């Protein structure tokens, strides 16, 4: 190899190194906001059927109140699905529990609490176990599985769904019974619980539809 050829090789290597470093700098400088328009939406989670033992199942109807559900366009659409699943759950001996924060009014009398059922009216956030005795009351009844229904998907869906899994419950998440202000919020909640979130919690979650649940 001549001296000129060696110099060309060295120059080429230097240029390649500079390009590599520059490229790495661009990658390091990027963030999710910069990349937002180029992100591909992942495929939906697989829906799986669930066969439950009513005696060890609790159906949690969370925050479905006139004060919030009525002003979220997608929420009223879930009421018939929630009612049908609730009726089957009650008939199978499942516990039905509600959260109506601040003394709110249930969105529809057809899904109203029955006498003796759990109704939590304390103000609270998306994790309905925090600041309440819900966990103790469920465990006292021998509950092993919870079904999550209510509003909103990104709130009580992820919040109470994940919290339930962390407390040792199997979690059933029927996507047609958990609404939100927008389709995208329902999408990312279903994706999170369907495996996009931490495996330590999502491995206990079954994402499904209400008509895929049997007792």
- Quote the domain boundaries for residue 32: 3-38
The verdict on 18 and 98 lying in the same domain is no
In a domain, 101, yes or no: yes
- Which of 171, 177, 208, 150 lies closest to 84 in space, CA to CA? 177
The verdict on 119 and 188 lying in the same domain is yes
In a domain, 31, yes or no: yes
In a domain, 208, yes or no: yes
Write down the pTM of the prediction: 0.85
Give tens-digit pLDDT for 141-167: 999 999 999 999 999 999 999 999 999
| Angstrom distances, CA of residue 7 to CA of 11, 12, 17, 18, 19 | 6, 9, 15, 16, 18
**Can you tell me the mean pLDDT for 9-16?**
44
29-38, 52-61, 123-132: range with lowest mean pLDDT: 29-38
pLDDT at res. 74: 87
In a domain, 43, yes or no: no
- Which of 194, 156, 191 lies closest to 78 in space, CA to CA? 156
DSSP-assigned letters across all residues of 92-114:
TT-EEEEE-GGGPPBS-GGGPPP
The verdict on 110 and 164 lying in the same domain is yes
Residue 25 has pLDDT above 60, yes or no: no
pLDDT at res. 197: 96
Between 167 and 18, the more confident residue is: 167
Give tens-digit pLDDT for 63-96: 999 999 878 888 999 999 999 999 999 999 999 9
Residues 61, 67, 70, 75: is their CA dihedral positive or negative?
negative
Phi, psi of 150 (to 5 degrees): 140, -160
pLDDT at res. 64: 96
């Amino acid at each position: 190899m001549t001296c000129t050829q060696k110099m060309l090789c060295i120059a080429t290597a230097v240029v390649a190194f500079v390009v590599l470093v520059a490229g790495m700098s661009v990658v390091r400088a990027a963030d999710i906001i910069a990349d937002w328009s180029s992100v591909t939406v992942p495929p939906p989670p697989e829906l799986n059927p669930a066969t439950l033992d009513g005696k060890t199942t609790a159906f949690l109807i969370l925050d479905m109140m006139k004060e919030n559900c009525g002003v979220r366009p997608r929420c009223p659409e879930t009421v018939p699905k929630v009612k049908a699943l609730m009726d089957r759950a009650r008939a199978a001996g499942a516990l039905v529990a509600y959260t109506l924060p601040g003394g709110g009014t249930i969105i529809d009398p057809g899904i109203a609490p029955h006498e003796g059922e759990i109704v939590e009216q304390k103000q609270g956030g998306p994790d309905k176990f925090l600041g309440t005795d819900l966990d103790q009351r469920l465990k006292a009844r021998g509950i092993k599985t919870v079904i999550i229904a209510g509003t909103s998907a990104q709130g009580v869906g992820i919040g109470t769904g994940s919290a339930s899994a962390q407390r040792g419950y199997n979690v059933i998440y029927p996507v047609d019974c958990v609404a939100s202000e927008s389709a995208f919020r329902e999408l990312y909640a279903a994706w999170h619980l369907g495996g996009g979130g931490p495996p330590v919690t999502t491995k206990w979650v079954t994402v499904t539809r209400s008509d895929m649940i049997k007792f």
